[in-house]
Structure 1
């Protein structure tokens, strides 16, 4: 059957009940989403407007509080570093220096026989090291612990005391010399080599080992002085006009233990010495042997 030329055919879409045109449905969803977003933005603006505004003083207080908390944390970390970590670093460096010196030491590590001679004449005194930070000996102080042994180093600058232990004042004599062999050491940080200096009692022995032998000093007394008291380093401590005839050991450190307002000075005098070739004093023989083994 042929349709007439003027017949306009309509194309009709038959939809089932409940069907939603896809194009119309998407437009409606987009419009709904836009409305929801606008409503949310208006609600957020109203909520911000209802919040009380902070005044300048309140903001300043908050900033200062945060700064104080930050400073407190930094200070705490500094204290931990100063009192804990510096000791770990210094102890490691000092033990390495002691082990190296002991392994290069020429001489037996067993004490002499009880019947061996004890008079070896005047002590041999080594020349002062030419370079700062040179390790020239080991100090043993049984009062500070049966395993206490610390390196003796040339110089009392920060480079020496912060790392290597007991530093010698270059104005003083060497171990065993007539006059004053004077050393300095930290008390609470960087190895705390003289932390227990206040525990010394008269009669305590302090042993010094060099390449030439062993020097035994006996502690006499201590003294608290101001940092400006340089006369404690004189050949005869605190006596500027006296001529030295004895052989002193002077140890200096900060006082009190957690401060530096004063200085604590420990004075000792040489009791005896023995050459390296005869072995160490019996009181430190075990520690001398342990140092040589690197223990």
Structure 2
């Protein structure tokens, strides 16, 4: 009897180990492949020069163009570049935050939020340790870091301000003015949400940024991400 129980415990341990390997390793491989394909497809369809504008080029392009919200969950509408996460970091932006979107394509938009460049709160979510681990390094952001968003209309540069640790039920971080239910938005925010701590889900880590500038696709990409924009188009 003792031997049987021992064998069952060993079997359960092996199954648990295999599950952990699948969750922390294989899901990342599958998701990374899907995300690279999505970024490459977006880049192939993108219309605009791949070189940054000249240093002496105009920098005031007026109010940002704000695309209409995608209607179909799972549709890829842009690419996020975060140099703090690595000079080659580029991940697709997808409509929706359900498992079908986050487990495959990475960074999903909350449908209650605005689109990139809009007044209010452009809010996105992503996994931290599985399914591509798109926000694994969210805790490394420091004030002043740039986050670049590319859509068919152009490029939006957000500047990171601060992060916050909250409980999972804190939906007020997604409000037009984060955490301020009675406020009328005048700024253009980017809010990124992920699980906290890195290997748990007891809390949420929230990263807040604000729009610094934008430039249309016809102007070319910001210099800081120009090389990666070109690399994405080459596939």
Please list the CA deviations of residues 85-120 of structure 1 after superposition, one character each: whole Å capped at 9, or x if unmatched.
000000000000000000100000100001100000
Mapping of residues 211-226 of structure 1, within 5 Å: 211-226=152-167
Pick aligned residue for 1:207 from 134, 145, 148: 148
CA RMSD of aligned residues (A): 0.3
Pick aligned residue for 2:215 from 263, 271, 274: 274
**Normalising by structure 2, what TM-score?**
1.00
Tell whether 2:26 aligns with 1:85.
yes
Task: Report the CA distance between 1:63 and its aligned residue.
Answer: 1.6
Task: Report the CA distance between 1:194 and its aligned residue.
Answer: 0.0
In structure 2, the partner of 1:127 is: 68
C-alpha distance in structure 2 between counterparts of 1:113 and 1:245, whole Å: 31
Tell whether 2:124 aligns with 1:183.
yes
2:190 match: secondary structure: strand
In structure 2, the partner of 1:72 is: 13
Tell whether 2:105 aligns with 1:164.
yes
Structure whose alpha-carbon radius of gyration is higher: 1
In structure 1, the partner of 2:171 is: 230
Q: Where does the alignment leave 5 or more consecutive residues of structure 2 unmatched? A: none
In structure 2, the partner of 1:265 is: 206
In structure 1, the partner of 2:227 is: 286
Tell whether 2:155 aligns with 1:192.
no
In structure 2, the partner of 1:105 is: 46
Richer in helix (by share)? 1
Query: Any runs of at least 4 consecutive aligned residues in structure 1 with deviations exceeding 2 A, and if so which?
Result: none
Task: Report the CA distance between 1:64 and its aligned residue.
Answer: 1.2
C-alpha distance in structure 2 between counterparts of 1:63 and 1:234, whole Å: 56
Task: Report the CA distance between 1:153 and its aligned residue.
Answer: 0.1
Q: When the two structures are aligned, how many residues end up with a matched partner? A: 235
Richer in strand (by share)? 2
1:150 match: secondary structure: strand
**Normalising by structure 1, what TM-score?**
0.79
Task: Report the CA distance between 1:287 and its aligned residue.
Answer: 0.1
